Structure 1
Amino acid sequence: MAGIRNGRPYRRLCDTQRALGLPCWWCGTDIDYTLTGRDAQRHPLAFSLDHLVPLRHGGSLLDPANARSAHRWCNTSRGTRTHRPQPRASRRW
C-alpha cells in the first residue's frame, strides 16, 4: 500500500501548488521549478510542499489552504515551528 504522500490527491496538490510558481513562503526568494526527478530530491533550492500549520500541530495534509511553496532546505530547516525566527540585530553599527 502506498503512503498518503505518494497518493494521487497529494501529488495533485503538489502539482497545483507548483503550477502557481510562487516564491518560497518562508524566506521569500525564488524557487527553482526547473528541477525535477532526482535533481529535485537532492537540491536544497528545489520546490517542496510545505504546510502553514504543521501536520504535527493538527494541520491538514491535503487542504489547499494549508499548502505553501517552499525550498526543500527551508521546509526541512523549519521543522514543525509555527513562527519565523526574529532576525538578529547586526553587531556592526
Structure 2
Amino acid sequence: MAGNPRNGRPYRRLVDWLRAQRLPCWLCGHDIGYGLDAKHPMSFTLDHLVPLSRGGQLLDRANARPAHRRCNSSKGNRTAPPKAAPQRASRRW
C-alpha cells in the first residue's frame, strides 16, 4: 500500500463510525467537542488502545477509542491512560 494508510477509505470509515457514537474521551471522561475544528485541543481524535508503535492494529474497532486531541497527545505511545497525581490530604481535619 503506497502512502499514508490513515488517508484511506477504511480508516475514514472507522473514524466516522467512532465519531457517530458521540462517546466521551476515554482518557479523561469529559465530553468531546465533536463540532470543533480538528486543530482545537478539545476536538475529537481516534486513539488506539494499543498504540500502533507497540503492535496495535490500525483498523481494529476493538482498538479504537475516542479522545480529545490534547489527551491523545499527552498519552503518547503508552498503552494505559496516564495516571493522575496522587492527592495529598489536607492538614485540616
TM bin, normalised by shorter chain, reads 0.7 to 0.9
Identity of aligned residues (%): 61
TM-score calculated relative to the size of structure 1: 0.88
What residue ranges of structure 2 are gaps of 5+ in the alignment? none
Rg larger in structure: 2
TM-score calculated relative to the size of structure 2: 0.88
Hey, which of these two has a bigger chunk of helix by percent? 1
RMSD across aligned positions (CA): 1.3
Query: How many angstroms does 1:3 deviate by?
Result: 1.2
Q: Which residue of the other structure, out of 64, 67, 80, is the alignment partner of 1:67?
A: 64
What residue ranges of structure 1 are gaps of 5+ in the alignment? none
AA matched with 1:70: A
Contact 2:22 2:34 in 1 (8 A): yes
Q: Which residue of the other structure, out of 32, 44, 54, is the alignment partner of 2:41?
A: 44
Residues 9-88 of structure 1 mapped to structure 2, 5 A cutoff? 9-35=10-36, 39-40=37-38, 42-88=39-85
Aligned residue pair count: 89
Query: How many angstroms does 1:82 deviate by?
Result: 1.3
Cα distance between partner residues in 1 of 2:65 and 2:14: 10
Query: How many angstroms does 1:92 deviate by?
Result: 5.0
